[in-house]
């Protein structure tokens, strides 16, 4: 089995570093600053409409690195697999990882596999490294009054897609996960002269969670407009049915970009010209004042936007 | 592609403007349905109402009106009888006297969130060696689906499945409110979902007996504003009718097939409501033919459960529309969605939860 697995990895991920079969990968990076990130991926079920655990494991870390403005270069991966996991399932996951790595231009250079008792997992940890271009500093603490808040795609699709397939919670929806690498959008912005102040992929906690973090880090008020949040119809109706707020639902293929007010139009145009950015929308602005997130309601009043509290549980209709 | 709120902005403006220029007798409108409460809070309507017009949330949130002893029963079943509890998710966070079902689950108790009764039945089919108890909560909206599940269980002899019922009958509760001297409501925005089953005619008796204008409304922001407009027009002209502002989904006599199933599987009994107390004929218990699938008959005979409401919680007043959530001294201080004291803060449809989540900035 062990041989089979390592053969599978090499066949799918093949690159000069991995193919050496060392316990390490010696890589070259010609940059002053590098960005490092790691994440562990546990998703139940491991396969969902629009992707699987493998898509998430690569896109998740690629995106985390990209949120610094860096170009993601190399990933490591650790698999924790349940004993007796069907080889076809593993192949499906590894295949997705290989496709996503290729798409985002990263190489998976070293890895590890552990097998645990049946019933647990599969789990994947990926860690990655990327090169930050000279002169680029991006961070959650950098939002300033007057900045514009852009979201690069429709919100809530990933969370709803996964939920629709969770055991015991079957409901039919045509929503598919938005899982996607965002590094090309980030690179396009930077290459075209726009250095965002903040980039964040609103995974767990959704847009409301991410904006609240940024507001706290930057000590600013972020004001969004309820009528401008892009949303798939399926997400809207599922949220209505389940009693969820779409701003609380996890995303895996869109990000929040906070840019200087004067860059707003240009940034939107660049993002909309990129794959996965076609539906980008300007959803709000950064203001002074106490750190919080507010929303203009559709009747024009102003409400607070809280991060989600605790696990999302579907309600009784 | 859509946006969070999809109502046509021009239509909304028009409808809102008509509400804001209202000049007529004062009107206290109760929105009976929790989904209306959420939508109204989210669009920030309350602060835009003209002088003399107010909106109060009613007893329309299923987990909110379910009394605490029901949750204590469920917790007892999970802990002491070792049954698998299948429940809609938001019931898991409602405080019982000592714990929540979520805490029982964390202790290792078998508590499964499900989205439908089909999921609950499947759980019973998959776990033949375990007893699966479904928590039957809610009004005429959810009760027919539970009735259907019970018919299926009986037909397919899924004998390890049972229902702990706290299903409620909507109309007696609305009447109880009108009889309550503390309640100042003089118009009803009637629920969309429950009315799909009940039909709009059913409100006629209440409307004429107590002189309360009643309008059935849908859930989109413009549908709610339309419903309120129709109530204001009635108040201004001095009329009292039942009107249907949601004809695309609600018919005159509702879903008679669903009502028939309901009548065959459940019997109406006197029932205890959080906030409203014991109301004659306001609950659905399993009919005698279904005693085998009644979790109370099966597991709780002779068991005495002592319950105590959380100290200081004013859910009872909130659910009757006697106070708005913000008037509860614990609102947003000791009681918030992270640390809910009462049921009305727990559910996404609860008045306190909705008012907290979408509170004015
Ligand atoms: S705010 Fe909390 S304590 Fe007060 S009535 Fe509502 S749920 Fe009860």
Spacing of C-alpha A289 from chain mean position: 29
**Segment A205-239, tens digit of pLDDT:** 999 999 999 999 999 999 999 999 999 988 988 88
Decide if pLDDT at A11 tops 80: yes
Q: Residue A41's beta-bridge partner residues?
A: A124
Asked whether the CA dihedral A129, A132, A137, A142 is positive or negative, the reply is negative
Mutate to test the pocket of ligand 1, among B68, B328, B340 (most ligand atoms within 8 A of CB): B328
Q: Residue A295's beta-bridge partner residues?
A: A224, A303
Query: Which atom of ligand 1 is least distant from the CA of B332?
Result: 1
C-beta of B314 in contact with ligand 1 (< 6 A): yes
Average pLDDT over residues A195-202: 97
- Chain A's closest residue to B116, CA to CA, is A169
Question: If 0-12 CB within 10 Å is exposed, 13-18 middle and 19+ buried, where does residue B308 land?
Answer: exposed
- pLDDT score recorded for residue B1: 42
Question: If 0-12 CB within 10 Å is exposed, 13-18 middle and 19+ buried, where does residue A153 land?
Answer: buried
The CA distance from B181 to the nearest CA of chain A, in Å, is 30
Average pLDDT over residues B232-250: 95
The CA distance from B281 to the nearest CA of chain A, in Å, is 22
In DSSP notation, B130-191 reads S-EEEEE-SSTTTHHHHHHHHHHHHHTT-TTEEEEE-EE-HHHHHHHHHH-TT----EEEE-
Size of interface A-B (CB pairs under 8 A): 135
Provide the pLDDT confidence category of residue B168 given band limits of 50, 70 and 90. very high
Tell me the pairing of strands A230-231 and B84-87.
Answer: unpaired
Average pLDDT over residues B97-119: 91
**Segment B75-85, tens digit of pLDDT:** 999 999 989 99
Decide if pLDDT at B110 tops 70: yes
C-beta of B341 in contact with ligand 1 (< 6 A): yes
C-beta of B346 in contact with ligand 1 (< 6 A): no
Query: Which atom of ligand 1 is least distant from the CA of B351?
Result: 6
Please tell me which of the candidates B92, B336, B359 has its beta carbon nearest to residue A313.
B92
Tell me the pairing of strands A256-259 and A148-151.
Answer: antiparallel
C-beta of B104 in contact with ligand 1 (< 6 A): no
Average pLDDT over residues B312-337: 92
**Segment A49-97, tens digit of pLDDT:** 999 999 999 999 999 999 999 999 999 999 999 998 999 999 999 999 9
Between CA B337 and CA B341 the distance in angstroms is 9
Are the CB atoms for A120 and A139 separated by under 8 Å?
no
- pLDDT score recorded for residue B3: 53
In the numeric block, which tokens belong to residue B184?
Answer: 């100042």
Percent of chain A with pLDDT over 90: 70
- pLDDT score recorded for residue A151: 98
Q: Are A299 and B337 an interchain contact pair (Cβ–Cβ within 8 Å)?
A: no
Between CA A31 and CA B164 the distance in angstroms is 65
Domains and CATH numbers, chain A: 2-131 (3.30.1330.10), 148-304 (3.90.650.10)
Q: Are A169 and B219 an interchain contact pair (Cβ–Cβ within 8 Å)?
A: no
Q: CB neighbours of B267 closer than 8 A, spacing ≥ 6?
A: B284, B285, B286, B287, B288
**Segment A137-187, tens digit of pLDDT:** 999 999 999 999 999 999 999 999 988 877 555 566 788 999 999 999 999
- Count other Cβ atoms within 10 Å, centred on residue B72: 19
Average pLDDT of chain B to the nearest whole number: 93
H helix or E strand, kind and range, residue B2: strand B2-3
Query: Among the listed ranges A7-11, B244-248, B287-291, B327-331, which one has the minimum average pLDDT value?
Result: A7-11
In the numeric block, which tokens belong to residue A249?
Answer: 């639902």
- pLDDT score recorded for residue B6: 61
Please give the distance, rounded to the nearest whole angstrom, from the Cα atom of residue B69 to the centre of ligand 1.
18
Q: CB neighbours of A94 closer than 8 A, spacing ≥ 6?
A: A8, A9, A12, A13, A54
Closest CA relative to residue A136, chosen from A193, A69, A210: A69
Cis peptide before B24 (omega within 30 of 0): no
- Taking contacts as CB-CB distances below 8 angstroms, the residues of chain B near A317 are 138, 141-142, 193
Q: Are B2 and A233 an interchain contact pair (Cβ–Cβ within 8 Å)?
A: yes
Between CA A68 and CA A130 the distance in angstroms is 9
Decide if pLDDT at A272 tops 50: yes
**What ipTM, to 2 d.p.?**
0.78
- pLDDT score recorded for residue B246: 94
Find where tokens 């985002």 sit: A104
C-beta of B356 in contact with ligand 1 (< 6 A): no
Are the CB atoms for B354 and B43 separated by under 8 Å?
no
The CA distance from A296 to the nearest CA of chain B, in Å, is 9
């Amino acid at each position: 089995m062990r041989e089979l697995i390592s053969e599978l990895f090499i066949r799918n991920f093949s690159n000069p570093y991995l193919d050496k079969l060392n316990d390490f990968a010696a890589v070259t990076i010609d940059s002053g600053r590098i960005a490092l990130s790691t994440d562990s991926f546990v998703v139940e079920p491991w396969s969902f409409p629009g992707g699987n655990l493998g898509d998430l494991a690569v896109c998740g870390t690629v995106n985390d690195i990209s949120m610094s403005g860096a170009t993601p270069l190399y990933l490591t991966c650790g698999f924790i697999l349940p004993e007796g996991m069907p080889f076809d399932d593993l192949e499906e996951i590894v295949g997705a990882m290989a496709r996503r790595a290729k798409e985002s231009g990263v190489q998976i250079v070293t890895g590890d596999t552990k097998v645990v008792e049946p019933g647990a997992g599969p789990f994947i940890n990926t860690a990655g490294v990327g090169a930050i271009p000279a002169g680029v500093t991006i961070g959650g603490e950098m939002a300033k009054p007057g900045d514009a808040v852009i979201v690069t795609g429709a919100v809530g699709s990933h969370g709803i897609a996964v939920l629709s397939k969770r055991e015991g919670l079957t409901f039919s929806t045509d929503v598919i996960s938005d899982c996607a690498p965002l590094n090309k959008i980030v690179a396009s912005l930077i290459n075209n002269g726009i250095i965002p102040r903040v980039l964040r992929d609103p995974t767990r906690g959704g847009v409301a969670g991410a904006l609240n973090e940024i507001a706290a880090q930057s000590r600013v008020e972020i004001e969004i407009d309820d009528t401008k949040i892009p949303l798939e119809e399926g997400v809207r109706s599922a949220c209505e049915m389940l009693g969820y707020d779409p701003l609380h639902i996890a995303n895996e293929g869109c990000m929040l970009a906070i840019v200087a007010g004067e860059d707003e139009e240009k940034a939107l145009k660049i993002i909309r010209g990129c794959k996965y950015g076609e539906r980008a929308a300007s959803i709000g602005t950064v203001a002074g004042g106490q750190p919080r997130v507010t929303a203009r309601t559709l009747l024009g009043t102003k409400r607070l936007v809280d991060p989600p509290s605790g696990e999302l549980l579907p309600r009784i209709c | 592609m859509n946006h969070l709120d999809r109502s046509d902005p021009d239509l909304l403006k028009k409808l809102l403007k008509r509400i804001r220029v209202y000049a007529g007798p004062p009107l206290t409108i109760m929105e009976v349905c929790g989904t209306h409460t959420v939508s109204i809070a989210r669009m920030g309507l309350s602060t835009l109402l003209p002088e003399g017009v107010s909106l109060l949330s009613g007893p329309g949130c299923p987990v909110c009106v379910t009394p605490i002893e029901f949750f204590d029963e469920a917790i007892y079943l999970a802990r002491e009888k070792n049954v698998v509890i299948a429940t809609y998710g938001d019931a898991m966070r409602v405080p019982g006297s000592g714990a929540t079902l979520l805490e029982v689950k964390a202790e290792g108790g078998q508590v499964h969130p499900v989205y439908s009764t089909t999921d609950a039945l499947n759980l019973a089919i998959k776990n033949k060696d375990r007893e699966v108890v479904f928590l039957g909560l809610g009004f005429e909206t959810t009760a027919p689906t539970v009735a259907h599940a019970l018919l299926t269980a009986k037909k397919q002899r899924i004998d390890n499945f049972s229902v702990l019922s706290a299903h409620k009958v909507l109309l007696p509760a609305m009447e109880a409110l009108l009889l309550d001297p503390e309640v100042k409501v003089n118009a009803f925005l009637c629920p969309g979902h429950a009315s799909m089953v009940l039909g709009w005619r059913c409100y006629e008796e209440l409307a004429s007996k107590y002189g309360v204008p009643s309008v059935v409304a849908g859930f989109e922001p413009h549908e709610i504003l339309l419903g309120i407009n129709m109530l204001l027009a009635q108040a201004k002209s001095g009329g009292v009718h039942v009107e249907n502002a949601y004809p695309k989904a609600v018919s005159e006599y509702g879903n008679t097939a669903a009502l028939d199933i309901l009548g065959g599987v459940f019997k109406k009994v006197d029932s205890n409501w959080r906030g409203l107390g014991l109301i004659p004929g306001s609950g659905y218990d399993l009919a005698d033919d279904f005693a085998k699938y009644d979790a109370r008959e099966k597991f709780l005979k002779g068991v005495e459960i002592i319950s105590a409401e959380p100290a200081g919680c004013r859910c009872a007043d909130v659910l009757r529309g006697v106070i708005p959530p913000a008037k509860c001294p614990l609102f947003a201080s000791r009681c918030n969605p992270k640390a809910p004291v009462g049921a009305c803060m727990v559910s996404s449809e609860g008045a306190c939860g909705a008012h907290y989540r979408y509170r004015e900035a």
